[in-house]
A and B are shown apart, each in its own frame.
Chain A
């Protein structure tokens, strides 16, 4: 079974969202998503400073099997990207919630997390297949 940490929020498109100090939000793809994609081989990340709308394509993760878009879980400005993934994309497979994070956002003021799911809701979604 896939790992779904309780303290994170999730999207229907299999991104996760973690609250960091000082109002920063970290984004990655779930264990379920990395498992379904298989070995990641390339990752395209956005420019730092780019303003993203909620649901906008913000990265591409490409596995041996397929390329997949990653969508911004909430609106905000990119403040950091995980440059390690450019040479070690397999970090996403190994540590989807840790070293495999994709980007960090400063959410726009009032940019609510209303569309996000709890771990139990996301677990139910994944269980449905």
Chain B
């Protein structure tokens, strides 16, 4: 039996089908995963993401540590509440995890990490923080709900007092604010607008039920996966891991090489890789045939080489299969994929596939 979030009993009562996710028993879907997906694209859905790790870093040298720890530069966080997406790298320049860091106060930052890596992440951060005289506190007292979709913000704000509602509706994208005991951030993993709310575990069940009553659909991790893939967002463990670096994972934009004197963990290795030339890239694939891309399928690039599908699924919005694949850098606009004993053509397309409910690729 896996670990349970504080919403587990509610998931079961709502009829969720459960799966193991990073050692946690989590809802994959409550009914139709495709209906849950469409609810987020068209109105609003709520996801339990309490299995993710929330940790607070406190101390005057917090920013200094994070500038050494993360590949993106928290110096970019110049206003309290601002969030930054970053990879945390090892000495080889490969990805230990991807995370979001919030700048709350000059001596107070919050990081949110993946469920499957939270223990190794926290151990790594503690090791790197040695000598900085910081306090790192995991916030197991908090649950986290992701409320996503074009109507997510309004329906969430309706649960709040007028004053608090005004404050959260004023939040700019990628900003968060402490509202009483809640931390509300305008972030997400679906390609839609919405909030991620960190709140005391004791409140999570009633908030979920009030969201349901306000017309926000319960959504499982199945829909979360199809939504994030349509949005062209990487999943740690699938699309990058401890053997791949951000430059070959579509994440070069998250690595701050400037200023050159900032010496973050993995920088030397990444610079050596850049000097040698990055050999692979992560691309979006669309399959126009009636089959589904799945991770680890072989990608053939005639005259160039081979690659591998890192994530694949059926896109409910596009009504065909999409995926991410790591392929040689010289790969052009078409490849072939080996699946279930067949070799099928796939198109290489720019990411994302879908943004704010709209298809961004041509559908033939």
Binding site for B on A (CB under 8 A): 35, 38-39, 41-42, 44, 60, 62-67, 90, 93
Question: Contact at B292–A42, with CB atoms within 8 Å?
Answer: yes
Question: Contact at A35–B290, with CB atoms within 8 Å?
Answer: no
| Contact A35/B17 with A64-B34, A93-B32 known, Cβ cut-off 8 Å | yes
Q: Does B358 contact A (CB under 8 A)?
A: no
Question: Contact at B292–A41, with CB atoms within 8 Å?
Answer: yes
14 inter-chain pairs at a CB distance below 8 angstroms, sorted by A residue, are A35-B17, A38-B17, A38-B29, A39-B32, A42-B291, A42-B314, A64-B33, A64-B222, A64-B226, A64-B313, A66-B294, A67-B291, A67-B292, A90-B32
Partner of B222, one of A41, A62, A65, A67: A65
| Across-interface contacts of A39 in B (CB, < 8 A) | 29, 32-34
Chain A: minimal CB distance from B319 (Å): 8
The binding surface of chain B is classed by DSSP as mixed
With a 10 A CB-CB cut-off, give which of B32, B226, B313, B316 has the most chain A CB atoms: B32
Q: Does B276 contact A (CB under 8 A)?
A: no
4 shortest interchain CB distances as A-B pairs: A41-B314, A39-B34, A64-B314, A42-B290
Chain A: minimal CB distance from B310 (Å): 17
| Across-interface contacts of B335 in A (CB, < 8 A) | none
**In the complex, what distance in Å separates the CA atom of A75 from the CA atom of B28?**
37
**In the complex, what distance in Å separates the CA atom of A84 from the CA atom of B291?**
17
With a 10 A CB-CB cut-off, give which of A35, A39, A42 has the most chain B CB atoms: A39
| Across-interface contacts of B291 in A (CB, < 8 A) | 42, 62, 67
B-side interface residues, number (CB < 8 Å): 16
| Across-interface contacts of B17 in A (CB, < 8 A) | 35, 38
**In the complex, what distance in Å separates the CA atom of A90 from the CA atom of B34?**
10
Instruction: Name the interface residues of B282-302: CB closer than 8 Å to any CB of A.
Output: 290-292, 294
**In the complex, what distance in Å separates the CA atom of A129 from the CA atom of B243?**
36
Number of A-B contacts (CB under 8 A): 41
Chain A: minimal CB distance from B199 (Å): 30
**In the complex, what distance in Å separates the CA atom of A90 from the CA atom of B314?**
14
| Contact A38/B292 with A64-B222, A65-B222, A67-B340 known, Cβ cut-off 8 Å | no
**Given contacts A38-B28, A39-B29, A67-B294, could you give 10 more A-B pairs where the C-beta distance is less than 8 Å?**
A39-B34, A41-B292, A42-B291, A42-B314, A64-B33, A64-B34, A64-B222, A65-B28, A66-B294, A67-B340
| Across-interface contacts of B28 in A (CB, < 8 A) | 38, 65
Instruction: Name the interface residues of B1-56: CB closer than 8 Å to any CB of A.
Output: 17, 28-29, 32-34
Chain A: minimal CB distance from B353 (Å): 15
Query: Which residue of chain A has the shortest Cβ distance to B290 in the bound complex?
Result: A42
| Across-interface contacts of B29 in A (CB, < 8 A) | 38-39
**In the complex, what distance in Å separates the CA atom of A62 from the CA atom of B17?**
18
**In the complex, what distance in Å separates the CA atom of A38 from the CA atom of B226?**
13
| Across-interface contacts of A38 in B (CB, < 8 A) | 17, 28-29, 33, 222
**In the complex, what distance in Å separates the CA atom of A65 from the CA atom of B220?**
13
**In the complex, what distance in Å separates the CA atom of A85 from the CA atom of B292?**
16
Query: Which residue of chain B has the shortest Cβ distance to A36 in the bound complex?
Result: B17
| Across-interface contacts of A66 in B (CB, < 8 A) | 294
| Across-interface contacts of A93 in B (CB, < 8 A) | 32
**In the complex, what distance in Å separates the CA atom of A93 from the CA atom of B34?**
12
**In the complex, what distance in Å separates the CA atom of A99 from the CA atom of B340?**
27
Query: Which residue of chain B has the shortest Cβ distance to A41 in the bound complex?
Result: B314
| Across-interface contacts of B33 in A (CB, < 8 A) | 38-39, 64
**In the complex, what distance in Å separates the CA atom of A18 from the CA atom of B340?**
29
